[in-house]
Homo-oligomer: A and B are copies of this chain.
Amino acid sequence: MSAHIRQTSPFRWEGVKVSPYKADGPHFAGITRQLLFDGGNGLGCQLRYFEIEPGGYSSLERHHHAHAIMVVRGPGRAFVGDRVAELSMNDLVRVPPLTWHQFRAGDAPFGFLCMVDCGRDIPERPNAAALAALRADPAVAGFIRV
């Protein structure tokens, strides 16, 4: 692929496919994935661009691998660990290992970069006990979608 990959329209790039976020499921809505950089040439990490449409949300999940996130189309909201944060353009978010997290758009498209290692584990979704624990906090209960 060319060294220079142009943005062809806002948050769309030449030769970069707009992919489903995950295989179908009821636990996410209105979210797409674009793989901007997929390792290669010895690089052991990926940079993905996720975009959530108004009303949409990512999967509530956790995993051993860490996420390093930067908002590039904002604003948006995130639940990470034990709190809900209002995110603005260019804000950064660390998602540590085994930390429950979910992203939601507000009234506008919400887009963010997510850097991960190429080799990583499969996300886990909350079981009934984990959900009950998360919902013990009313702010979290009002935010999360499953």
Q: Which residues of A contact B (CB under 8 A)?
A: 1-7, 10-11, 13, 36-37, 40-45, 47, 64-66, 68, 70, 72, 78, 80-81, 83, 85, 87-97, 99, 113, 115-117
Residues of B with C-beta under 8 A to A42: 64-66, 97, 117
Q: How far is the CA of A66 from the CA of B66 in the complex (A)?
A: 21
Q: How far is the CA of A142 from the CA of B40 in the complex (A)?
A: 31
Q: Which of B66, B85, B92, B95 meets A36, CB within 8 Å? A: B92
Verify B43–A44 contact, CB threshold 8 A. Answer: no
Residues of B with C-beta under 8 A to A85: 3-4
Verify B4–A90 contact, CB threshold 8 A. Answer: no
Residues of B with C-beta under 8 A to A2: 94
29 A-B residue pairings within 8 Å (CB atoms): A1-B94, A3-B80, A3-B83, A3-B93, A3-B94, A3-B96, A3-B99, A4-B78, A4-B92, A4-B93, A5-B92, A7-B92, A36-B68, A37-B94, A40-B66, A41-B66, A41-B94, A42-B64, A42-B65, A42-B117, A43-B65, A43-B68, A43-B116, A44-B44, A45-B45, A45-B68, A47-B68, A47-B70, A113-B113
